[in-house]
């Protein structure tokens, strides 16, 4: 049992645990709960105004008022973002991880480079791609014009959102890749050797040997990208600022909190809606993954 003494000494782990707990409750969990409460009030971002409970009014005005079609569009865009990012990012990352796991020459350098965008951060990455995607003098435009194609990139209603998705995947692919690699490295090599001698095909080997073993990293990656994609707004803020059909739920929360009307109840309600959507997908994803892990 607890090997570090008895009596009052037994309390030390509790005391130390209290620090993160307190920080968490004060700065995170507490405000989260308060947000739920605010979502039922008409609180304004103006000191000294009175606060009343308004029931579901904020939710009604979000989902069933003049501009709620835009809310639905934001929700739809969030889901699209989530699906595309989760599938492509993890698909590419898994492929790259499997490839790098074959001990290619210089594999460590490649890994380091693919992870680099995570280190650079959103502000820097967005600026880099704004420069690459400059519609007049950017290199990508020059490349396009070879094929006689033109685009306005982050200023295009039809493509801006996809370019943002591209940047998001470019940025976080390395992160998913590392998690897959960590999983792959836990697969003993002799398992493959055995499989190879048996004459199993590569794909069969992957399906029956590798995949079950990396299933946990798969779960982690899925959850991280679902949650991450649903909560991303900084990249949108830094590239299009929500213009050109690129608003998502997460962006709307930020926008309504700090730049919309002075109403605080509305963004609070929006936060709660966002939470509900994330919750649904996380629960579904976890269920799916669990089944898979059991299956093998």
User: What residues are paired with 110 via a beta bridge?
Assistant: none
Binding flag, residue 257, other proteins (CB under 8 A): yes
Q: How far apart are CA 233 and CA 41, in angstroms?
A: 25
DSSP code of residue 268: H
Assess contact for 237 and 10: CB atoms under 8 A.
no
Q: Which stretch binds other proteins (CB under 8 A): 27-35, 81-89, 287-295?
A: 27-35
Q: Which stretch binds other proteins (CB under 8 A): 77-85, 192-200, 288-296?
A: 192-200
Binding flag, residue 28, other proteins (CB under 8 A): yes
CB of 289 to other proteins, least distance (A): 13
End-to-end CA, the chain: 34
At what angle are helices 211-231 and 265-295 packed, to 10 degrees? 170
Q: How far apart are CA 144 and CA 128, in angstroms?
A: 18
DSSP code of residue 209: I
Q: Which stretch binds other proteins (CB under 8 A): 18-26, 81-89, 288-296?
A: 18-26
Site string for other proteins, 120-159 (x = CB under 8 A): xxxxx--xxx-xxxxxxxxx-xx-------xxxxxxxxx-
Binding flag, residue 16, other proteins (CB under 8 A): yes
User: What residues are paired with 41 via a beta bridge?
Assistant: 53
Size of the site for other proteins (CB under 8 A): 126
SS (H, E, C) 37-56: HHCCECCECCCCCCCCECCC
Candidate list 72, 87, 91, 104; residue touching other proteins; CB under 8 A: 104
Residue 273: closest CA among 4, 56, 47: 56
Q: Tell which positions 30-49 bind other proteins, by CB under 8 A.
A: 30-32, 34-36, 38, 44-49
CB of 295 to other proteins, least distance (A): 19
Binding flag, residue 186, other proteins (CB under 8 A): yes
Binding flag, residue 164, other proteins (CB under 8 A): no
């Amino acid at each position: 049992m607890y090997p570090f003494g008895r009596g009052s000494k037994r309390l030390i782990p509790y005391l130390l645990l209290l620090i993160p707990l307190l920080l968490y409750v004060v700065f995170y969990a507490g405000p989260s709960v308060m947000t739920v409460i605010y979502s039922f009030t008409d609180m304004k971002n103006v000191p000294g105004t009175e606060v009343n409970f308004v029931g579901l009014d904020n939710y009604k005005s979000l989902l069933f008022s003049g501009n709620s079609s835009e809310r639905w569009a934001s929700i739809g865009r969030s889901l699209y973002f989530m699906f595309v990012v989760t599938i492509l990012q993890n698909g590419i990352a898994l492929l790259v991880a499997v490839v790098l796991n074959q001990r290619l020459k210089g594999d460590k350098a490649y890994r380091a480079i693919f992870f680099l965008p995570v280190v650079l951060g959103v502000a820097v990455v967005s600026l880099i791609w704004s420069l690459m995607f400059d519609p007049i003098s950017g290199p990508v435009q020059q490349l396009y014009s070879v094929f006689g194609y033109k685009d306005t990139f982050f200023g295009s209603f039809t493509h801006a959102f996809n370019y943002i998705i591209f940047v998001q995947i470019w940025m976080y692919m390395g992160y998913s890749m590392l998690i897959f690699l960590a999983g792959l490295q836990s697969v003993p090599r002799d398992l493959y050797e055995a499989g190879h001698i048996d004459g199993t095909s590569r794909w069969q080997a992957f399906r029956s040997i590798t995949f079950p073993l990396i299933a946990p990293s798969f779960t982690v990656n899925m959850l991280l990208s679902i949650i991450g994609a649903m909560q991303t707004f900084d990249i949108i803020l830094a590239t299009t600022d929500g213009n050109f059909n690129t608003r998502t739920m997460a962006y709307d929360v930020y926008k309504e909190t700090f730049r919309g009307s002075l109403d605080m109840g509305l963004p609070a309600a929006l936060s709660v809606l966002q939470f509900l959507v994330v919750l649904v997908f996380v629960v579904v994803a976890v269920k799916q993954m669990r089944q898979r892990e059991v299956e093998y």
